[in-house]
Amino acid sequence: MIVPTPSRPDRLPSAIALRLAAALFATLLGFCVHAAAKTADTAQVVFLRALLSIPPLLLWAVLTGPMADLRPKAPGKHLIRGLLGGVTMGLNFYALGQLPVTNAQTLSYLTPVLSIPAAVILLGERLSTRAVIAVALGFAGMIAMLYTATARPDWGWAELSGMLAGISSACLMALIRVQIRAMTATETVMSIAMSFACITSAMGLVAVLLTGWTPMTSDLWFWLGGAGLLGAATHITATAAVARAPVSTLAPFDYSGLVFAVGLDFVLFAHLPGPWGWLGIVLITAAGLLTALSGRASGAGLRGR
C-alpha cells in the first residue's frame, strides 16, 4: 500500500482554500484553451500551454524557496506522472475544443468521484457516511448539469468524441491525483510541477511534429500565454492542497469549479443554465458545504493511515 504524508487537521482550512483557488484557475484555463482550440490543433495547445508555464514556475521557485526544491528525488515517479498527465491534458483539451466550456468542465468533475475509491484502495483512506453523501450530492449535481447539454438533438460525432475524451481524462486524472498525494511524501510541490511541465512540453513537441503547426497570431499568443500562466497557478495550488489533506477530503470542493464556470459563462456570454442546471449548482454547493461544516469537527471524516 502507498503511504502518503500524514495529514493534520489544522492544515485543512488552507488545503480547502488552495483547492478552491485551483478550481478557479482551472476554470479560467478552460476558457483560454477553448478559445485557442478554435484555431490551433490540440497538440499545439498542449505544447505551448506546458512550455509557457515553465517561466512562471521558475519565478515562483526563486521567490518561495531554494532552487534545490526543483530536483526530483524519485525521477521514475515523476516520469510516470508526467506521461500520464500529458495524455490526460491532451484528452481534456480535446474535450474543451469540441464542447462548450461548462460541459467539458462538468465531465472533468467525474474526477473527484473516481478519486475517492482510488484513494481508499491505494492510500488506505477511510470514508465517513457524511463524506459519501457529500460526494454523491456532487455527482448528482454533475449529472443534472450534463443532462441540460446532452438533451439536444443537434449533437453529433464531434460532441460525442469530446464527451468520451472528457470521461477518459477524468478517469486518468483520478489515478494521477492519488499518485500526486503519495509523491508528496518525498517530493516537493515545485519538483512535481516542474517535471510535469517539462515532460508534457516534450510530449507536445513530438505531437506537433506529427500533426503540424498553426501560425501564431496575437490572439493565439494571448490565449495560450494565459493558459500557461493559469496552468502553473493551477498546478501549484492543486499539488499544495493534496499535500495538506487527504484526496477524499478535498474531492467535493472540486465541484466549485462548475459554479465558477457558470458565472463566467454569464459574465462573458450572458448565458445562464436552465432548471436542471440550477439544480446541479444547488447540489454541488450543498456537497461542498457539507464537507466544510464537518471538516473541523472530524477532519472531514477522512484520515490517511
pLDDT tens digits, 100-146? 787 788 777 777 666 667 667 776 777 677 777 877 887 887 787 67
**3 domain residue, yes or no:** no
Percentage above 90 pLDDT, the chain: 29
**273 domain residue, yes or no:** yes
**303 domain residue, yes or no:** no
Instruction: Pick 7 or 256 by higher pLDDT.
Output: 256
Rounded CA-CA distance 272/162 in Å is: 22
For residue 146, the model assigns a pLDDT of 72
**4 domain residue, yes or no:** no
**289 domain residue, yes or no:** yes
Number of domains into which the chain is organized: 1
Domain around 51:
9-297
Cα-Cα-Cα-Cα torsion 52, 172, 75, 45, nearest 10 degrees, comes to -20
Mean pLDDT of 241-246: 81
**2 domain residue, yes or no:** no
Rounded CA-CA distance 71/235 in Å is: 17
Cα–Cα nearest to 55, from 237, 238, 225: 225
**1 domain residue, yes or no:** no
pLDDT class of 148 with cuts at 50, 70, 90: low
The 10s digit of each residue's pLDDT in 159-181 is 778 888 988 898 888 788 778 87
The whole-model pTM stands at 0.76
**227 domain residue, yes or no:** yes
